[in-house]
Amino acid sequence: MKYIIVTGGVMSGLGKGITAASIGRILKNKGFSLTAIKIDPYINIDAGTMNPYQHGEVFVLKDGAEVDLDLGNYERFLDIELTGDHNITTGKVYQTVIEKERRGDYLGKTVQIIPHITNEIKERIRRVAKRSLADICIIEVGGTVGDIESMPFLEAMRQMHSEEKEEDIAFVHVTLVPLDTQGEQKTKPTQHSVKELRSLGLQPDAIVARCREPLHQDTKSKIALFCDVPVKAVISAHDAKDIYCVPSMMEKEGLSDYLMDKLRLTAKEATHEWNELMKKMDGIDKEIRIAIVGKYAHLGDSYISINEALKHAGVECGCHVKIYRLEAEEFEKNPELVDSLKNYDGILVPGGFGARGTEGKILAIKYARENNIPYLGLCLGMQLAVIEFSRNVLEFRDANSSELAKTEHPVIDLLPEQEKVKNLGGTMRLGNSEAILTQGSLASRLYGGTHLVERHRHRYEVNPKYIPQIEAKGMKFTGRSDHRMEIAEIPEHKFFFSSQFHPEFRSRPGKPSPPFLAFVKAALG
């Protein structure tokens, strides 16, 4: 097994995740199989309880694990499916070590950071790498070098370096090269970051320098001299027009060849689908405008998988999808603003939890339904579509979800078996689940059959008691998993499709999600 370990310095948010995913992609293009691990130094067990404003979206894996959004980038760039074991957090590591200590596994020894915590980290990494049967395992160490919470993980990486063969492990350090007021590229932050890394016993084999413009040759030479790496190992990661261009940029910089030399790898049969994707992106000559009506509108990372799924569909259709994130609460404060939705080619309401902004989303859904504008609802976006339809077509004016308010018409509710569970954490529906589709429905046409597997992240369901009344008025539930409703569509509408699952999590470049592809096609007209 070959290991590539990606660390970061200077500041957070430089793009370690995209760097790690891009390294994986250029090596996959050379014919190698890869897996990826994300280390998050926070004490949370997983990302499930984190506020999207603070941490971006919660990505859901096939086994139901709620993880950092970088794992979504790994899946999209590498076209693989990961599990919760591929996300290592401080909380997971300490919980396991404490459980072992309570069982007496350490036979009375004093349990310490070294060796017990670091051993647990290394065991987890090697176990995941071995199970994957991949040629290369990429490990992204979250946080920034110098953070106190990252220390045990970096120490574990140092130990791995001494335990693995020299040709089986490589370190890539991501830093920042800012411009001063005169426009000069400054290397001092990179120098200090590498100095900090070396003080921990780690020497980078390659440095990926984030910068606004391509690194000048003298800047590369200066970094190489002060950081003790070859000039060819200083990689310019300047701003790209799209994240999917980053692998090609790194390939041109020679990073794959350098890493293959370091790891003594010989290229296998090359693949070209990524280059074909780039050609498609370059040939785009149309544009559509899509409104995402949500409650995390100010932070783009809150809806990153949706953004990417729209992009995948747009590339397939030969159009650029221009996304406008609209704050749902603004529609609640000023309902007349909902008329501005006439300026968009499609309206999308994403998932979410809690009552904030839901009435504004319902106004947007009503506008889309009544004005025949293509609509795509995801998770809560489907539940609110059912609520809107029940209020304005069935005329149950107080129809709502029992999660959001007390109502005489809980068209969205906990199912009887869920109500018996006192701990609501045990009622979340997470990960892959199958659904059966109605033959001849829009859903069956999109998925090319009567069966699908998609990922979920929700608790409340459509109340079976109201289904006959809703369907009698024209909204059809064309996807079902036993007594759970998975898809609601309005056949008479130009395009009105909503799903209880999250199709964006399985969308890939070159393999767009069926609902997103159909939505973009409908928006194109």
Length of the chain as a residue count: 525
Number of Cα atoms under 13 Å in the Cβ half of residue 323: 23
- Per the annotation, the verdict on 319 as an active-site residue is no
Token duo for residue 121: 């980290």
Residue whose C-alpha is closest to residue 486's, from 439, 428, 443: 443
- Per the annotation, the verdict on 502 as an active-site residue is yes
- CB burial string 325-344: b at 16+ within 10 A, e below: bbbbbbbbeeeeebeebeeb
Which residue out of 409, 458, 493, 502 is catalytically annotated? 502
C-alpha distances (whole Å) from 464 to each of 421, 482, 483 are 19, 11, 7
Work out whether strand 66-67 and strand 206-211 pair parallel, antiparallel, or are unpaired.
unpaired
Amino acid letter, residue 98? I
Q: Which residues lie across from 451 on neighbouring strands?
A: 436
Distance CA 225, CA 247 (A): 26
Which residue out of 379, 403, 454, 461 is catalytically annotated? 379
Distance CA 291, CA 87 (A): 32
Cβ atoms 57, 303 nearer than 8 A: yes
Provide the 3-class DSSP secondary structure of residue 340.
helix
Tokens 């506008």 locate to 367
Which residue out of 66, 75, 486, 504 is catalytically annotated? 504
Distance CA 35, CA 271 (A): 17
CA dihedral 260, 263, 269, 273 (to 10 degrees): -60
Distance CA 351, CA 504 (A): 11
Phi/psi of residue 496, nearest 5 degrees: -135, 100
Residues 6+ apart with CB under 8 A from 501: 379, 433, 435, 454, 455, 456, 486
Catalytic residues, by residue number, are: 379, 502, 504
